[in-house]
Chain A
Amino acid sequence: MQLTVWTYEGPPHVGAMRVATAMEGMHYVLHAPQGDTYADLLFTMIERRSKRPPVTYTTFQARDLGGDTAELFKNAARDAYERFRPAAMIVGASCTAELIQDDPGGLAKALDLPVPVIPLELPSYQKKENWGAAETFYRIVRTLAGPHAPAPGTARPAREPGRRPRCNILGPTALGFRHRDDIREITGLLARLGIDVSVVAPMGGAPADIARLG
């Protein structure tokens, strides 16, 4: 137990929110108690985004704990898919939901949704926000780009003659300090060096963009 009067980093699921919110066509279903929706205001007030973060919270209460919180999660995931029609979903638990061990990943898988559903394991009592963002992006890339990635050791085909070199910009997220400006600046610098940018992710990237990484 640690006395904290000031924390620079939030919990890891806020990192996952930063990744989901940065992306296009991604939705995050978060098993979380009532009140965890406070995190929305980081994006709507601090970052002044014009849209709510693409996050559905189960917002369970004490009376749900005696009943079926797993059912609550399944309904929330199903309704979120129906309403938002994302191209992919990430699912996970906040600190309290981690304790009740409902296994959001397994529950979401059982729903058999027609889009990739990526389970997140973000240990809230060990890790923090930046780790959560990194882990979330890693899981998304593993799931969406992994199947298309060439086997390790495969030689890269030579660049076609006359084609400009290309790169990806990976890492900018929502609520990141100057990330939006940095993307513009770095893209411009690279262009002047004669380098194209293929994918920027998570910020502005869609699941289909992630799938063509590599």
Chain B
Amino acid sequence: MNAPVPRIEATDGCTTAPVLRERGQREVFCGLTGIVWLHRKIQDAFFLVVGSRTCAHLIQSAAGVMIFAEPRFGTAIIDERDLAGLADIDDELDRVVGRLLDRRPDIRLLFLVGSCPSEVIKLDLGRAAARLSARVAPRVRVLSYSGSGIETTFTQGEDACLAALVPALPAEPAGAADSLLVVGALADVVEDQFARLFAELGIAPVRFLPPRRSGDLPPVGPGTRYLLAQPFLSDTARALEERGATRLDAPFPLGAEGTTLWLEAAARAWSVPADRFEAVTAPGRRRAEVAMARQREKLAGKSVFFFPDSQLEIPLARVLARELGASLVEVGTPYLHRQHLARELALLPAGTMLSEGQDVDRQLDRCRDARPDLVVCGLGLANPLESEGMTTKWSIELLFTPIQGYDQAGDLAELFARPLVRRTRLEV
């Protein structure tokens, strides 16, 4: 085997660390929120939430939507006539979808997105999607997934969406060469950078899920090796494996180290020679290290507390601890997928306090006791914590900003450094 980069010495890190599991009020978004970035990524898809006024209000609030152009998401609001059986809910849905597709000929892929109310009344959106697909194919493909809060937390909505796409992927033709599939929504700029790096490494073909246009669904089959670009894709991974694909085990492409190890996982699978890997990755790695070094001065020695939000917490904490010199007070995650995060856990400093799930009031008590230098938390907690004198980073920014890859490593570090700098400026 090639060993393109020196292996990280085999410590256990947090592999066997205890995890505080909490059950209580969870201050998190539901999976519907994923629509906010997914509709930008898949540019000819429409996301129709089948839910309540609350769902419509959530997406609007979370997205901060301004209707300058017609957005590619909406809500079919269930009303009392549907619930009381005065209207046939299937007919109603067909009517709403028919009207939508008539008005929006640009839509090529329609997701019916399940919500808490649609799940509780057991509205079968899978069947509705099949029925509607038969009517509007081949112009439009109709799929369904659930972004309900009773089943999904925030980024799990993307997982559910991508998992729903997997059965629609074409089969890789028999005898096709091995292909690499990068799974998880990335900013287009990041995707382009990775595509260039893989090309320089001689890895081909490389495809991305989700695609930018629904007509470009990547084929999948037993020759598909896939790399997860996001840590929250357990259902998608399972669906891909059912189609014969194999996962390349890697940390996530955050920071110089994570990006190198992530690329290395693919390089190993394609037996890229060590010197070539070094030649291709060294410039990016150096750029990342230089960019991060500037922020490291501001972050070294600072204590950081993560509230659970996007499941990106563990990889982000790893970057903060290993590349930016910060110390970790508590790293909360809504779910801990031990298998997909095994490499990440091994890299986390031993003794890091990990928590899974949430009881928000108790977690706030711990945070107040610890008085960390920086709190990474959701929008519902940030301003109240600021008013208590703490410095916060909105966790949602880490999802909406391109942070993966070498050329974004400096931006990632700066996202954490900025609130600290701002507070210093305010204090001077």
Contacts and interface: CB of A to CB of B under 8 A. Distances in A.
Indicate the size class of the contact surface on chain A.
35 or more
Given A38-B61, A125-B83, A1 B67 contact: no
Contacts of B57: 7, 9-11, 14, 39
Contacts of B61: 38-39, 41-42, 46
Given A41-B378, A44-B379, A124-B54, A34 B150 contact: yes
Interface string A27-54: 0000001111111111011101111100
A126 B80 CA distance: 6
B71 interface: yes
B219 to A, nearest CB: 33
B71 A5 contact: yes
Contact of B383 (A48, A58, A59, A79): A48
B369 to A, nearest CB: 16
Nearest to A34: B149
B96 interface: yes
Interface string A50-72: 11100011111110110000000
B77 A76 contact: no
A155 interface: no
B120 A96 contact: yes
A35 B116 contact: yes
A208 interface: no
Given A6-B67, A35-B116, A95-B53, A1 B87 contact: yes
Nearest to A83: B361
A154 interface: no
Nearest to A125: B80
Nearest to B91: A1
A3 interface: yes
B53 A59 contact: no
A49 B382 CA distance: 10
A1 B96 contact: yes
B60 A125 contact: no
Contact of B148 (A13, A33, A51): A33
Contacts of B28: 34-35, 37
Contacts of A158: none
A212 B126 CA distance: 55
A212 to B, nearest CB: 31
Contact of B76 (A1, A39, A61): A1
A71 to B, nearest CB: 12
9 contacts: A1-B96, A3-B100, A33-B148, A33-B149, A33-B150, A37-B29, A45-B383, A83-B361, A100-B120
